[in-house]
């Protein structure tokens, strides 16, 4: 009886990561619809979606591995709260990216993720500085190093 209960708990814990894996697969399939105008080498319009999907698969596989090895059911519902919030925040980021531009949407996205994971929550000034730094570093990486055109601030830049 206890074994059957443990199997149910494990299946329940793996349900959300499996759902995210299905969404990641749909996202990866959609990247093949991105039309490449010309060969851009390694870093083209499909690079970031492939990288994001690959990293997501690795993280989800790690979560699934951990959940299948863990047999206690304490805090099961709590374990899904943060991933669900991250999914909602990411959907909001994608929805607001074009309207707010890269700088504002990425800054807000970073702040939200810092809040979800409790990073520098006690020191809000540092949280703001780190969010600005993340926004700037990723702009340098994609906008400058990879020369990807980002809508920095709509109507201005």
User: pTM score, two decimals?
Assistant: 0.56
- Give the CA angle between residues 135, 142, 148 to the nearest 5°: 130
Render pLDDT for 53-108 as a digit per residue (tens, 0 to 9): 888 888 888 888 887 776 555 455 556 678 788 888 888 888 888 888 889 999 99
Concatenated DSSP letters of 22-87: HHHHHHHHHHTTSPPSS--TTSSTTHHHHHHHHHHHHHHHHHHHHHHH----TTHHHHTHHHHHHH
Render pLDDT for 118-156 as a digit per residue (tens, 0 to 9): 888 899 999 999 999 999 988 888 777 777 777 777 766
Tell me the average pLDDT across 9-32: 76
| pLDDT attached to residue 39 | 63
- Other Cβ atoms closer than 10 A to 85: 15
Residue in 116, 126, 59 with CA at minimum distance from that of residue 89:
116
Query: What distance lies between CA 65 and its chain's CA centroid?
Result: 19
Render pLDDT for 95-127 as a digit per residue (tens, 0 to 9): 888 888 889 999 999 999 899 888 888 999 999
**H or E stretch covering 90:** helix 81-117
| pLDDT attached to residue 78 | 58
């Amino acid at each position: 009886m206890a074994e059957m209960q443990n199997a149910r708990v494990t299946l329940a814990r793996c349900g959300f990561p499996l759902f995210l894996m299905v969404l990641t697969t749909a996202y990866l399939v959609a990247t093949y619809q991105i039309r490449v105008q010309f060969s851009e080498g390694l870093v083209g319009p499909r690079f970031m979606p492939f990288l994001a999907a690959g990293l997501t698969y690795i993280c989800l596989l790690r979560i699934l591995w951990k959940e299948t090895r863990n047999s206690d059911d304490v805090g099961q519902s709590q374990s899904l709260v943060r991933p669900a919030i991250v999914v909602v925040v990411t959907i909001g980021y994608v929805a607001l990216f074009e309207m707010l531009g890269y700088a504002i949407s990425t800054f807000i996205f970073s702040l939200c993720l810092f809040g979800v994971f409790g990073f520098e929550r006690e020191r809000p000034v540092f949280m703001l500085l780190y969010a600005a730094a993340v926004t700037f570093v990723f702009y340098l990486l994609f906008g400058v190093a990879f020369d990807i055109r980002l809508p920095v601030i709509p109507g201005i830049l």
